[in-house]
């Protein structure tokens, strides 16, 4: 029996001719990632190991993005810990304020993730880089520490689910709607410790930003990773951002999958995940038949939907319009380069004219950290990736997950809405 794309990458990293689902392997790492919340824990564990430095100063990335700019003394201490560790070990890819961005948008932009890589990060949404044909997955801080020390990590080889994508998305349907549809279909544990592998002619109809969004939320279905094949769009992106050589892996024709699903992109509708799980999905048509769902806050940004395509779509909806009074609209470009591009394209002007506040890159509101924390009884529609109880603030608040298009339209109407209602 042949191997899936993920299995081929892991076999190569382990120096083995083949691997099978369930097999335990030791694989060499191409990149180890940490942020300002998870890195301090890993650094303390590394100190306990009494190792002499890190395995490779060029293959570690440290990005203070969750509570940076520092929101309080404790977060300042965390960032100081990471900063001093980076200086002490001469970490090449440490990103200080001004260069920092939201980690999962920043690393591909900087060319640090390429096809065939094996990447671990002490952040669950490290699976984002599967959009580029890499194997990337989230780990705990202790595993991050071991990875920084040795350049290797243990893995149980995952089995896989194949998603055959066909058709072309209609207007206002994006990668966020694709992944919310899939999670609504299979559930938050539907891909538990399995690789979500995307294939089929519909892949070519998705932008790279769509693919990043889909891979990013593989973890919300329980997936070990999400991964896309490398095609012309991938190569074009890599030519623009990366200088490293890379290796393209393709699934064997006789690769074994636990399940296979066919997703007709042309049949999908804008989709919203209701509280308090990403699987609790409803299409915009279903929502139209409900009582209006009024919102207190709209957040457009995060590692899921803070890229330039996301901001362009939101600006297209908001152009010449203004948010509803007594409702907050927060827009967060995912990196400094994206922020600058949004300024140059006039998107930031559109957001401010629409009544939005535009923030420096940060994960803040996504995890209820700062820059958009919810009070008791408040509702937020957000382009982030999780809507658990208390995720963005008070345990009696509610989070609805949606695409930038739906989030922007909802800011205009003050209730969950489709941009088509504004046409």
Write down the pLDDT at residue 423: 74
User: What is the predicted pLDDT for the residue at 336?
Assistant: 96
For residue 239, give every residue at least 6 positions away whose Cβ sits within 8 Å of its Cβ, in sequence order, or none.
Answer: none
State the pLDDT at residue 68: 87
CA distance 284 to 290: 10
- pLDDT for the residue numbered 52: 84
pLDDT in tens for each of the 423 residues of the chain? Answer: 799 999 999 999 999 999 999 999 999 999 999 999 999 999 999 988 888 889 999 999 999 999 988 999 999 999 999 999 999 999 999 999 889 999 999 999 999 999 999 999 999 999 999 999 999 999 999 999 999 999 999 999 999 999 999 999 999 999 999 999 999 999 999 999 999 999 999 999 999 999 999 999 999 999 999 999 999 999 999 999 999 999 999 999 999 999 999 999 999 999 999 999 999 999 999 999 999 999 999 999 999 999 999 999 999 999 999 999 999 999 999 999 999 999 999 999 999 999 999 999 999 888 888 899 999 999 999 999 999 999 999 999 999 999 999 999 999 999 999 988 887
The maximal CA–CA distance of the chain, rounded, in angstroms, is 63
Q: Which residues pair with 330 in a beta bridge?
A: 299, 357
Domains of the chain: 5-264 (3.30.499.10), 275-421 (3.30.499.10)
The first and second tokens of residue 206, run together, are 């998705």
Q: Which residues pair with 282 in a beta bridge?
A: 272
Contacts of 290 (CB under 8 A, 6+ apart): 282
Report pLDDT for 422: 80
CA distance 142 to 169: 41
Question: Please, what's the b/e burial string for 8-45 (b: 16 or more CB within 10 A of its CB; e: otherwise)?
Answer: bbbbbbbeeeebebeeebebebbbbbbbbbbbbbbbeb
Listed residue (385, 227, 381, 367) closest to 303, CA to CA: 385
Find tokens 């509708």 and name the residue. Answer: 269
Helix (H/G/I), strand (E/B), else coil: 105: helix
The predicted structure's pLDDT at residue 366: 87
Q: Which of 180, 246, 267 is nearest to 216 (CA)?
A: 180
Instruction: Calculate the CA 355 to chain-centre distance.
Output: 26
CA 78 to chain CA mean position, Å: 23
User: Are the C-beta atoms of residues 149 and 247 closer than 8 Å to each other?
Assistant: no
């Amino acid at each position: 029996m042949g191997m899936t794309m993920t299995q081929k990458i892991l076999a190569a990293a382990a120096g083995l001719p083949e691997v099978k689902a369930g097999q335990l392997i030791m694989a060499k790492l191409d990149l180890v990632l940490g942020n300002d919340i998870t890195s301090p824990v890993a650094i303390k564990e590394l100190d306990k190991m009494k190792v002499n430095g890190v395995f490779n100063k060029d293959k570690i990335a440290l990005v203070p993005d969750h509570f940076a700019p520092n929101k309080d003394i404790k977060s300042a201490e965390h960032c100081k810990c990471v900063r001093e560790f980076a200086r002490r070990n001469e970490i090449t890819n440490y990103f200080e304020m001004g260069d920092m961005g939201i980690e999962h948008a920043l690393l591909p932009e900087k060319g640090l993730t390429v096809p065939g890589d094996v990447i671990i990060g002490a952040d669950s949404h490290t699976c984002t880089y599967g959009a580029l044909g890499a194997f990337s997955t989230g780990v705990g801080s202790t595993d991050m520490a071991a990875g920084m020390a040795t350049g290797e990590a243990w893995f149980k080889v995952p089995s896989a689910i194949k998603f055959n994508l066909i058709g072309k998305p209609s207007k206002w349907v994006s990668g966020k709607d694709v992944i919310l549809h899939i999670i609504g279909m299979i559930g938050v544990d539907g891909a538990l410790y399995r690789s979500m592998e995307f294939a089929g002619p519909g892949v070519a109809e998705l932008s790279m930003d769509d693919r990043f969004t889909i891979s990013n939320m593989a973890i919300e279905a329980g997936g070990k990773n999400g991964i896309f094949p490398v095609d012309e769009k991938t190569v074009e992106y890599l030519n623009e951002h990366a200088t490293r050589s890379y290796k393209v892996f393709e699934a064997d024709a006789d690769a074994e999958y636990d399940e296979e699903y066919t997703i007709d992109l042309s049949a999908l509708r804008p989709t919203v995940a209701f509280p308090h799980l990403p699987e609790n999905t409803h299409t915009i048509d279903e929502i139209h038949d409900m009582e209006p769902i009024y919102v207190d806050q709209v957040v457009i940004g995060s590692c899921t939907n803070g890229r330039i395509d996301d901001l362009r779509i939101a600006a297209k909806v908001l152009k010449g319009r203004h948010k509803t009074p007594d409702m907050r609209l927060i827009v967060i470009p995912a990196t400094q380069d994206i922020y600058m591009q949004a300024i140059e394209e006039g998107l930031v002007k559109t957001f401010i004219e629409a009544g939005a506040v535009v923030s420096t890159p940060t994960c803040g509101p996504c995890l209820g950290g700062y820059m958009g924390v919810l009070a008791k009884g408040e509702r937020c529609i957000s382009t982030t990736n999780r809507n658990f109880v208390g995720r963005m603030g008070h345990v009696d608040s509610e989070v609805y997950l949606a695409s930038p298009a739906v989030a922007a339209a909802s800011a205009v109407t003050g209730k969950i809405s489709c941009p088509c209602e504004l046409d």
